[in-house]
């Protein structure tokens, strides 16, 4: 399955190569076995000196010291003793790589981020450059109820090739959308759920009364009313229930209302954006009242550390969308006070992921290194950009660490991964080398200003 998907994928790391995708595809087809050698392999049980990683059909099949692991004789070998192998970084929440991250309509769960993802966006190319191999793409924070998101690998010429998990997560925001007051934001968010409830109750009543308006509308929407969709099902989920929903064939439920019902019934996790500590309370209330608290991840700005106790009590994980250092000024003394947010989150026992809201100083390796600098234990810092985000995305057994059975997502650094002088030299996603710095035209340009012939200057993203 994975190999099949990969078969169509082409190298995205180099825009120049993208034009000759045909050639790259044939290379990809042959590389079903790959052996990665590294002077140091970072694993959950500690580093392996002079290690070898064997990846077959996209998965890690063997991992260990060079003299203990038997590598297939016919595999492609990359790396060497100068490199350090790290698991690919996992971006727990990003609103990049999209054609416009925000939607005008307040409540738009019927939208799908799939339709906005741009496979050749500079963001995805840059993800590879910094060693990010899994990205959870969600609608921007400027929404009430946003679209359904998607987990992708940042490589592929089409969204389908990039896809890891379709329809993953539903984005919401408690922080006021542009031109909304906090009160109307909350009202709109709560009303989305009460509207759903009233709609479902009316649907049940209509069915009891023998009406067929819903059926005709469903046909008009072009919905499939056969098979599973022809059957009704009692309302799932752990919150409020609409009695008699089993009377309504699932296919007859309006597609604009369906995603929120799915959220309540447990099909999607929720990503709720909070800008200020007060937002945290509201976000948790909405999740609790509608029964999806257990599947909620808070996407928080740095100031939300003040609500750390509330977050810890609710037991939800968070993605830090803001700066690691929260700065505020005392209005009396004028003095600046700086708070190291990941430190507080860790101290309170909150599971958290760091995120790279853009791709320069905020990229994940740099975020982890900085967090260590500010005082976080190295293991926690590394986990916050690998295993923890993988678990938040429900991919804890697939990605996030170098272990036998997991996806072969490996980043080779030129030296100590957390040192400022190290570079990402190679990136392997599911057994396929998708980035090689020696061929990275844009990196050469950034490094020494020379622009190879036939290439154009980088264009700033929106």
Partner 1 sequence: MKPTQVLAVLLFATPSLAPVAGATVVGTSTDADATDPVPATAPADDDSWTIRADRIYTAAGDPIEGGVVAVKDGKISAVSGGGSGTLECAAVTPGLIDLSVRIDTGAYSVEQADETPIALRVSDALDLYSYRWDRELRSGVTTVLANPEDKAVLGGLGVVLKTGGEPTLDARVLRQDAVLRGSLGAEPSSGNRPPRGSGPSTFYYRRPTTRMGVEWILRKSFYDALAVERTGEGATPELEILQRTLKGEVPLVIQGWATQDIRTAVYLKEEFSIPKMFIDGAAEAWHEPDLLVRSGAAVVLPPFRFQGGPGTDGSFYAYDTAARLQERGVMFALSGHGASDPVMRLNKQPGYAMRGGLDFADALAAVTINPARMVGVDDRVGSIEVGKDADLVLWSGTPFEPTSRVIGVLLNGELVLDPRESNQ
Residue found by looking up tokens 């986990």 in the block: 383
Residue found by looking up tokens 């469903």 in the block: 218
What one-character-per-residue DSSP string does 364-410 give? Answer: HHHHHHHHHHHT--HHHHHHTTTHHHHHHTT-TTTSSS--TTSB--E
Residues 153, 135: Cα–Cα separation, whole Å: 6
Smallest gap from Cβ 447 to partner 1, in A, equals 5
Pairing of strands 352-354, 318-320: parallel
Which helix (H) or strand (E) is 271 found in, with range? Answer: strand 270-274
Of the two residues 82 and 323, which places its CB atom closer to partner 1 in the complex?
323
Of the two residues 112 and 339, which places its CB atom closer to partner 1 in the complex?
339
Count of residues that interact with partner 1, criterion CB under 8 A: 30
Of the two residues 242 and 382, which places its CB atom closer to partner 1 in the complex?
382
Smallest gap from Cβ 449 to partner 1, in A, equals 4
Give the other-Cβ count within 10 Å of 249's Cβ: 20
Of the two residues 1 and 420, which places its CB atom closer to partner 1 in the complex?
420
Distance of CA 198 to the CA centre of its chain: 33
Binding flags for partner 1, 357-386, as an x/- string (CB under 8 A): --xxx----x--xx-xxxx-----------
Q: Are 369 and 416 in contact (CB under 8 A)?
A: no
Which residue of 67, 226, 335, 462 would you call a contact of partner 1, by CB under 8 A?
A: 335
Which residue of 243, 313, 328, 338 would you call a contact of partner 1, by CB under 8 A?
A: 338
> Using the rule CB under 8 A, is 323 a contact of partner 1?
yes
Of the two residues 290 and 384, which places its CB atom closer to partner 1 in the complex?
384
DSSP-derived 3-state class of residue 25: helix
> Using the rule CB under 8 A, is 458 a contact of partner 1?
yes
Distance of CA 414 to the CA centre of its chain: 26
Of the two residues 206 and 323, which places its CB atom closer to partner 1 in the complex?
323
Smallest gap from Cβ 357 to partner 1, in A, equals 12
Classify residue 19 by its DSSP letter.
T
Of the two residues 11 and 326, which places its CB atom closer to partner 1 in the complex?
326
Q: First vs last Cα of the chain: how many Å apart?
A: 35
> Using the rule CB under 8 A, is 420 a contact of partner 1?
yes
- The sign of the dihedral angle between the CA atoms of 112, 395, 384, 14 is negative
**Distant-in-sequence, close-in-space partners of 6: CB < 8 Å, separation ≥ 6:** 28, 58, 161, 430, 431, 432
Smallest gap from Cβ 152 to partner 1, in A, equals 22
> Using the rule CB under 8 A, is 449 a contact of partner 1?
yes
Which residue of 247, 310, 325, 380 would you call a contact of partner 1, by CB under 8 A?
A: 325
Site residues (vs partner 1, CB under 8 A):
323-325, 327, 329, 334-336, 338, 359-361, 366, 369-370, 372-375, 418-421, 445-449, 458, 460
């Amino acid at each position: 399955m994975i190999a099949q998907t990969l078969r169509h994928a082409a190298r995205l790391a180099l825009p120049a190569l993208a034009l000759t995708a045909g050639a790259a595809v044939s290379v990809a087809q042959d590389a079903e076995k790959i052996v990665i050698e590294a002077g140091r392999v970072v694993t959950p049980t500690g580093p392996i000196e002079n290690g070898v990683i064997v990846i077959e059909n996209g998965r890690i099949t063997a991992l260990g010291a060079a003299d203990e692991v038997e590598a297939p004789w016919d595999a492609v070998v990359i790396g060497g003793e100068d490199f350090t192998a790290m698991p690919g970084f996992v971006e727990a929440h990003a609103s990049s790589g999209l054609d416009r991250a925000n939607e005008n309509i307040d409540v738009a769960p019927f939208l799908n981020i799939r339709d906005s993802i741009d496979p050749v966006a500079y963001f995805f190319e840059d993800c590879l450059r910094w060693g990010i191999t899994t990205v959870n793409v969600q609608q921007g924070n400027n929404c009430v109820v946003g679209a359904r998101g998607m987990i992708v690998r940042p490589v592929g010429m089409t969204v389908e090739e990039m896809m890891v998990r379709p329809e993953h997560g539903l984005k919401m925001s408690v922080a006021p959308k542009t031109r909304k007051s906090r009160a109307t934001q909350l009202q709109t968010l709560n009303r989305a759920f009460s509207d759903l409830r009233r709609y479902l109750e009316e649907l049940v009543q209509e069915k009891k009364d023998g009406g067929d308006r819903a059926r005709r509308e469903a046909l008009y929407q072009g919905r499939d009313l056969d098979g599973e969709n022809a059957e009704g099902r009692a309302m799932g989920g752990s919150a409020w229930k609409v009695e008699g929903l089993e009377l309504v064939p699932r296919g007859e439920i309006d597609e604009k209302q369906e995603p929120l019902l799915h959220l309540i019934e447990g099909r999607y996790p929720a990503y709720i954006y909070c800008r200020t500590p007060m937002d945290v309370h509201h976000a948790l209330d909405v999740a609790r009242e509608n029964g999806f608290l257990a599947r909620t991840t808070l996407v928080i700005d740095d100031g939300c550390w003040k609500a750390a106790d509330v977050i810890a009590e609710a037991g939800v994980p968070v993605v830090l969308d803001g700066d690691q250092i929260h700065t505020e000024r005392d209005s009396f003394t004028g003095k600046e006070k700086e708070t190291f947010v990941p430190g507080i989150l860790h101290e309170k026992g909150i599971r958290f992921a760091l995120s790279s809201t853009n791709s320069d100083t905020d990229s994940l390796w740099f975020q982890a290194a900085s967090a260590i600098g500010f005082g976080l234990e190295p293991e926690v810092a590394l986990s916050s950009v690998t295993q923890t985000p993988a678990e938040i995305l429900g991919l804890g057994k697939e990605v996030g660490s170098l272990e036998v059975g997991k996806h072969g997502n490996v980043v080779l650094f030129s030296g100590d991964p957390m040192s400022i002088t190290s570079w990402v030299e190679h990136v392997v996603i599911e057994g396929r080398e998708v980035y090689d710095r020696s061929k990275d035209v844009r990196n050469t340009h950034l490094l020494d200003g020379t622009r190879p012939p036939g290439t154009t200057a980088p264009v700033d993203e929106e």
